Amino acid sequence: MSELYFKRPMPHGGKLVERVITDRRIAKKFYEACKKTGAVYEIKPTLHYKRGVPVRNVYREIMSVCYGFFSPVEGSMTSAELESVLSKRRLLSGWVFPYPILFDISKEDYQKLGVSEGDRLLLTLKGKPFAILDIEEIYEIDPEELANRTFGTPETNPEVVREKFDDKHPGWVIYRSHNPIILAGKYTIINEPVFKPPYDRFWLPPRKCREEFERRGWRTVIAHQTRNVPHVGHEHLMKNAAYTGDVEPCHGILVNAIIGVKRRGDYPDEAILEAHEAVNKYGYIKPERHMVTFTLWDMRYGNPLESLLHGIIRQNMGCTHHMFGRDHAAVGEYYDSFATQILWLKGIPSYGFDKPVNEVEGGLLIRPQNMREFWYCPVCKEMVYSETCGHSKQKQKLSGSLIRGLVAEGVQPPNIIMRPEVFKVVVKWWKKFNYPFVNERYVQWKEQELEVDIPDLD
Amino acid sequence: MEYILEIFLDDYRLSKIKGTPVEANIEAVFGGELKVLRLKVGEDVKNEILKAFETARIDSRACITDTPVAFRRALFEEIANQKSLTEDVARAVLARINEIKELAAKESEFLPPPEIEE
ipTM score for this prediction: 0.80
Nearest to A399 among B59, B108, B110 (CB): B59
Q: B4: helix, coil or strand?
A: strand
Q: Residue B43's pLDDT is what?
A: 95
Give contacts of B 22-61 with A, CB under 8 A: 29-31, 33-34, 54-55, 57-61
Q: Across the interface, do B34 and A417 touch by the CB < 8 Å criterion? A: yes
Amino acid at A407: V
Is pLDDT at B60 greater than 80 in this prediction? no
**Nearest chain B residue to A431, by CA:** B113
Contacts of B3 in chain A (CB under 8 A): none
Nearest to B60 among A326, A376, A439 (CB): A326
Closest of A406, A417, A368, A429 to residue A235, by C-alpha: A417
Q: Residue A412's pLDDT is what?
A: 82
Residues A314, A209: Cα–Cα separation, whole Å: 10
Contacts of B38 in chain A (CB under 8 A): none
**Do the domain assignments include residue B101?**
yes
Q: Across the interface, do A406 and B112 touch by the CB < 8 Å criterion? A: no
The distance of Cα A379 from the centroid of its chain, to the nearest Å, equals 38
Closest of B74, B51, B108 to residue B5, by C-alpha: B74
Q: Chain B closest CA to A87's CA: distance in Å?
A: 31
Decide if B75 contacts B39 (C-beta within 8 A): yes
**Nearest chain A residue to B11, by CA:** A411
Nearest to A435 among B65, B66, B110 (CB): B110
* % chain B with pLDDT above 70: 98
Closest of A214, A194, A215 to residue A203, by C-alpha: A194
Q: Report whether the peptide linkage leading into residue A198 is cis, meaning its omega lies within 30 degrees of zero.
A: yes
Residues A194, B112: Cα–Cα separation, whole Å: 33
Residues A10, A8: Cα–Cα separation, whole Å: 7
Decide if A105 contacts A41 (C-beta within 8 A): yes
Residues A334, A8: Cα–Cα separation, whole Å: 34
Q: Residue B38's pLDDT is what?
A: 95
Contacts of A381 in chain B (CB under 8 A): 31
User: What does chain B come to in residues?
Assistant: 118
Beta bridge partners of B41: B3
Nearest to B69 among A327, A408, A415 (CB): A408
Taking only the tens place, the pLDDT of each residue in B17-58 is 999 999 999 999 999 989 999 999 999 999 999 999 988 888
Nearest to A332 among B33, B34, B57 (CB): B57
Q: Across the interface, do A440 and B108 touch by the CB < 8 Å criterion? A: yes
Give the CATH architecture of domain A199-371+418-449: 3-Layer(aba) Sandwich (3.40)
Q: Residue B41's pLDDT is what?
A: 96
At A24, give phi and psi (nearest 5°). -60, -35
Q: Chain B closest CA to A328's CA: distance in Å?
A: 12
Residues A386, A236: Cα–Cα separation, whole Å: 12
Q: Residue A1's pLDDT is what?
A: 58
Calculate Rg over the CA atoms of chain A. 22
Residues B33, A222: Cα–Cα separation, whole Å: 32
Domain boundaries, given as residue ranges, for chain A: 24-194, 199-371+418-449
Give the dihedral of Cα atoms A352, A357, A363, A365; nearest 10 deg: 170
**Do the domain assignments include residue B114?**
no
DSSP A451: S
Closest of B4, B9, B66, B69 to residue A401, by C-alpha: B66
The distance of Cα A322 from the centroid of its chain, to the nearest Å, equals 13
Q: Across the interface, do A424 and B116 touch by the CB < 8 Å criterion? A: yes
**Do the domain assignments include residue B112?**
no
Burial of A218 (0-12, 13-18, 19+ CB in 10 A): buried
Decide if A236 contacts A374 (C-beta within 8 A): yes
Nearest to B113 among A399, A416, A431 (CB): A431
Question: Residue B91: which domain range?
Answer: 3-107
Q: Residue B118's pLDDT is what?
A: 65
List chain A pLDDT tens, one digit each, 458 residues. 588 999 999 999 999 999 999 999 999 999 999 888 779 999 999 999 999 999 999 999 999 999 999 999 999 999 999 999 999 999 999 999 999 999 999 999 999 999 999 999 999 999 999 999 999 999 999 999 999 999 999 999 999 999 999 999 999 999 999 999 999 999 999 999 999 999 999 999 999 999 999 999 999 999 999 999 999 999 999 999 999 999 999 999 999 999 999 888 889 999 999 999 999 999 999 999 999 999 999 999 999 999 999 999 999 999 999 999 888 999 888 999 999 999 999 999 999 999 999 999 999 999 999 999 899 999 999 999 999 999 999 999 887 778 888 888 877 888 899 999 999 999 999 999 999 999 999 999 999 999 999 999 87
Q: Residue A458's pLDDT is what?
A: 76
Q: Residue A145's pLDDT is what?
A: 98
Interface of A with B (CB under 8 A): 264-265, 326-327, 331-333, 337, 373, 376, 378, 381, 396-402, 404-406, 408-412, 414-417, 423-424, 427-428, 430-431, 434-436, 439-441
Chain A to chain B Cβ contacts (< 8 Å): 97
Q: Report whether the peptide linkage leading into residue A72 is cis, meaning its omega lies within 30 degrees of zero.
A: yes
Q: Residue B106's pLDDT is what?
A: 87
B78 touches chain A (CB under 8 A): no
Q: Across the interface, do B111 and A430 touch by the CB < 8 Å criterion? A: yes
Domain A24-194 has CATH 3.40.80.10: no
Q: Residue A246's pLDDT is what?
A: 96
Scanning A99-231, the segments in alpha helix (DSSP H) are: 107-113, 143-151, 170-176, 206-216
Closest of A52, A73, A78 to residue A141, by C-alpha: A78
Residues A66, A302: Cα–Cα separation, whole Å: 23
Q: Across the interface, do B116 and A427 touch by the CB < 8 Å criterion? A: yes
Q: Strands of A142-201 (E only): list them.
A: 181-189, 194-195
**Do the domain assignments include residue B115?**
no
**Do the domain assignments include residue B32?**
yes
Sequence-ordered list of residues with C-beta below 8 angstroms from that of A199, at least 6 positions apart, any chain: A259, A269, A270, A273, A294, A451, A452
Contacts of B54 in chain A (CB under 8 A): 264
Domain count, chain B: 1
First to last CA, chain A: 56
Decide if A41 contacts A124 (C-beta within 8 A): yes
Q: Across the interface, do B33 and A411 touch by the CB < 8 Å criterion? A: no
